[in-house]
Amino acid sequence: MRLYAQTRARRYRQVLADLMAVVLVVAAVRFALAAHDRIMLLAEPGRELEDASGSLASGLGDAGDAASNVPLIGSVLEKPLQSAAEAGNRLSDAGQSMQDLVGRVADLTAFALIVFSVAFVLALWLPPRVRWIRRSARIRGLLEAPGCADLLALRALTGPVKDLAAVPVPPGGLADAWRRGDEQAIGDLSRVALRRAGLSA
């Protein structure tokens, strides 16, 4: 199985297309990662809320513990401080939940961007490459078949006329020469068919 053409111009085009596909995939991944980082900036308020609420809850809890040691009214002072500490803990949990949500959104967005971008590039790049590989394999198979030169010559005759410009035209025309089995004309035409497919004899 041949992956690249033998003719220089087509091989250069194929290599260029492959390089462009790789560059586009890399650019898509970099863009997706940059979008992920941007979205993660939205988690900063949640981080600040978690830190501030955690510190506040810790301070209020310590104050409640200290207030419980006050004679007579310690339990009265401790209760509201501990309630406030619990509220601070709930705020801290809310900040953590906000960060988790933003992280999930960032991950899903980056994943979707990468999948859709890579799928788009592959949809543009892969079918022509697969078609060429299959066509070149089919033509290579013709080279090994009996009467292959006649078949290739026929392919050249049924293709674009501009490809035949460099072929010497015998008396009566190329089609007549092919019908008569003119070996020179058939050889020239088969080389045209191979060159059109990016192959050499």
What number of residues does the chain have? 201
Collapse the DSSP code of 16 into the 3-class scheme (helix H, G, I; strand E, B; otherwise coil) and give the result: helix
CA distance 45 to 109: 20
* Average pLDDT of the residues in 109-136: 91
Confidence at 138, pLDDT banded by 50, 70, 90: confident
Q: What is the mean pLDDT of the chain?
A: 79
For 7-30, how does the pLDDT look when each residue is reduced to its tens digit (9 = 90+)? 788 888 889 999 999 999 999 999
Amino acid at 101: L
Please report which confidence band the pLDDT of residue 2 belongs to, taking 50, 70 and 90 as the band edges.
confident
Q: Which tokens belong to 107?
A: 């991950």
Q: Pick the more confident residue, 66 or 193.
A: 193
**Alpha carbon distances (Å) from 68 to 55, 75, 78:** 20, 5, 5
Task: Give pLDDT tens digits for 174-193.
Answer: 777 767 777 777 777 777 77
- Residues 6 or more apart whose CB falls under 8 angstroms from that of 136 comprise 2, 5, 197, 198, 199
- pLDDT tens digits, one per residue of 140-158: 776 666 667 777 777 777 7
Per DSSP, the residues of 128-142 read HHHHHHHHHHHHHHH
